[in-house]
Amino acid sequence: MLTVVGLRKTFRGPSGRVSALADAALSVAAGEFVSVQGPSGCGKTTLLLAAGGLLPPDSGRVQVDGQEVYALSSTARARLRAEKIGFVFQQFHLVPYLSVLDNVLAPALALKDPSARERATELARRFGLAERLRHVPAELSTGERQRTALARAMLNRPRLILADEPTGNLDGENARLVLSSLREFARSGGAVLLVTHDPSAAEYAGRRLCFKDSKLQEQE
């Protein structure tokens, strides 16, 4: 479902170019939950953004469901993301003036799916948000915001979910709910790539990688 080969990315810093990724390579199959661990600044978020078609690498290849992501036009990449990729971020990225229901519905705007509202309502209920559908993010707890973001990520029935520190702001109970939902998504045939610095979050994955000396390595 996801293949990353030879990914390199550098950024310009005050004292010159800084390497964020050096020949990063990984694959995530349908039905697989893969985690990538590493400390802050090691390149985890850069890897995730590049894998999702949001940050073009300096070199290397990214394939999602057999499509060469960076061979596509920006419009085609946006459609690929809308149809096949769900994103979950630590900071939620909810629209502050939209209700829970409308935030969950946001990805469907690109696809004009007439069944999306019913599906969004069901997802919100599944994640314990039935009584919060008309509330805006400022009226939600931190856990409710992340559950809203997770429902949004699943709205378009993606093939792949990319999760960047999704439990970083959560208490234990909400963290377990989010991670269990991601694991269930993988067990139902989806693919999950989770990047985290938290070993307890990484343990939910069936396969674990870590950054060591800027390289991705398999963990036992």
For residue 138, being part of any structural domain is answered with no
Element (H, E) at 61: strand 59-64
Spatial distance between the Cα atoms of 73 and 70, rounded to a whole number of angstroms: 8
Q: Name the residue among 175, 159, 155 with its Cα closest to residue 167.
A: 175
Flag whether pLDDT at 13 surpasses 90.
Answer: no
Dihedral of alpha carbons 9, 87, 89, 25, sign = negative
Report the pLDDT value the prediction gives residue 202, as an integer from 0 to 100: 95
For residue 169, being part of any structural domain is answered with yes
For residue 142, being part of any structural domain is answered with no
Spatial distance between the Cα atoms of 15 and 131, rounded to a whole number of angstroms: 52
Contact 92, 147 (CB under 8 A): no
Report the pLDDT value the prediction gives residue 86, as an integer from 0 to 100: 96
Predicted confidence (pLDDT) per residue in 102-144, tens digit: 999 999 887 777 889 999 999 999 999 999 999 999 999 999 9
Predicted confidence (pLDDT) per residue in 26-70, tens digit: 999 999 999 999 888 888 999 999 999 999 999 999 999 999 999
Instruction: Name the band, by pLDDT with cuts 50, 70 and 90, for residue 19.
Output: confident
Long-range contacts of 135-142 (CB under 8 A, 24+ apart): 135/99, 135/100, 136/96, 136/97, 136/98, 136/99, 136/100, 137/92, 137/94, 137/95, 137/96, 137/100, 137/103, 138/96, 140/100, 142/169, 142/170, 142/171, 142/174
For residue 139, being part of any structural domain is answered with no
For residue 151, being part of any structural domain is answered with no
Report the pLDDT value the prediction gives residue 210, as an integer from 0 to 100: 93
DSSP strand pairing (85-89 vs 16-28): unpaired
> Residue 34 is which amino acid?
V
The residues pairing with 218 across neighbouring beta strands, listed in sequence order, are 209
- Number of domains into which the chain is organized: 1
Two structure tokens written together for 26: 């990984």
For residue 104, being part of any structural domain is answered with no
Percentage of the chain modeled with pLDDT above 90: 81
Residue 169 neighbours by CB distance under 10 Å: 15
- More confident of the two residues 42 and 206: 206
Range of the domain at 30: 2-94+159-218
CATH number of the domain that residue 36 is part of: 3.40.50.300
For residue 85, being part of any structural domain is answered with yes
Instruction: Name the band, by pLDDT with cuts 50, 70 and 90, for residue 14.
Output: confident
Q: Name the residue among 81, 205, 90 with its Cα closest to residue 155.
A: 81
Compute the average pLDDT of residues 136-159. 96
Q: Name the residue among 157, 150, 156 with its Cα closest to residue 178.
A: 150
For residue 24, being part of any structural domain is answered with yes
Instruction: Name the band, by pLDDT with cuts 50, 70 and 90, for residue 89.
Output: very high
Dihedral of alpha carbons 111, 139, 87, 30, sign = negative
Instruction: Name the band, by pLDDT with cuts 50, 70 and 90, for residue 215.
Output: confident
Report the pLDDT value the prediction gives residue 72, as an integer from 0 to 100: 97
